[in-house]
Amino acid sequence: MKTRSLSIPASLVWIALLLSYNCGVQAQGYSVSRARDYQNAKDWQGLLNYATPWTKAEPNSMDAWSLVGTAYVFLHEPDKAIVPLRRCVAIQPNSAPAWHALGVAYTMNNQYGEAVDAIKRAIQINPNQPTYYNNLAAAYSGGNAVKSAMTALDQEKVLAEKLNSGTVWYTLGNGYAKLTDLNNSIAAYRRLLQLQPNFAQGWTNLGVVLQYNGDIAGARAAFQKGQQLGDPLAGQDLAQMEADLRAQAQHAIDVQNNIAQGQRAAHMLYFMHMSN
């Protein structure tokens, strides 16, 4: 059956990055507060235009360089984000968020080996941030190191048990789904929905992995719940699943009819042969 694919939402990374740096004295006329206005308006070109001269006025500002990197990411130019984010880790080598953000930029630019090294550095500095493990898994997966990706998610699962946060379980479920570890994905989504039973997207994603896992009744119920809570994707996925089921049923009928027609034709040929 056709189902939509699940992906790890990278936007969580960049929101965290924007809020991570406030290094004290700032060049006159520039501020994180003003930069956040551009962020809130999703004016990424405006953010870039604002932060770029800031880096020239204050070349050792983590805020300025991180904002340039963030702007390039949201402008879908991760290759240009790498240099300013490398400046961040040069300015503050012990900043886990900076190493993590650099790793994500590498992942988006398909530089998976560099991504793994950067995110592992972030984990060495701060091993208690579950998002780091999820994006480490994404980097490993991009480089076809599936076993290592699964190990990273299993490490994240240990933190998820401790934190018991709906957001963490949701991200973990997405990670397992991306690696088609359906049982762990289903378990993670169910833990999420115990904590946040009205999270529509959680029900929709649960429906997707249940469908992949062959639990059609469970998938139907999950899609219906997601639809009831207002997720338009739930209704689309439900309609697609039902259409696929009807097509499969019709195909099975057609196959049986073809077999029956073939058998009748064979009998007719047999009797014709016998009569001759």
Question: What are the pLDDT digits (tens) for 98-118?
Answer: 999 999 999 999 999 999 999
Extract the tokens encoding 204.
């929709």
CATH code, residues 6-126:
1.25.40.10
What is the model's pLDDT at position 271? Answer: 60
Q: Cα(83)–Cα(64) distance, rounded to whole angstroms?
A: 13
Q: Using CB atoms within 10 Å of the CB of residue 29, give its burial: 0 to 12 exposed, 13 to 18 middle, 19+ buried.
A: exposed
Cβ-contact 126, 107 below 8 angstroms = no
Q: Check whether 143 has a pLDDT greater than 90.
A: yes
Mean pLDDT of 124-143: 95
Q: Check whether 250 has a pLDDT greater than 90.
A: no
What is the model's pLDDT at position 210? Answer: 95
Extract the tokens encoding 151.
């190990």
Measure Cα distances from 175 to 75, 81, 138, 157, 266 in Å. 24, 24, 8, 11, 53
- Amino acid at the residue 13: V
Measure Cα distances from 81 to 58, 74, 121, 216 in Å. 18, 10, 18, 43
**pTM, rounded to two decimals:** 0.81
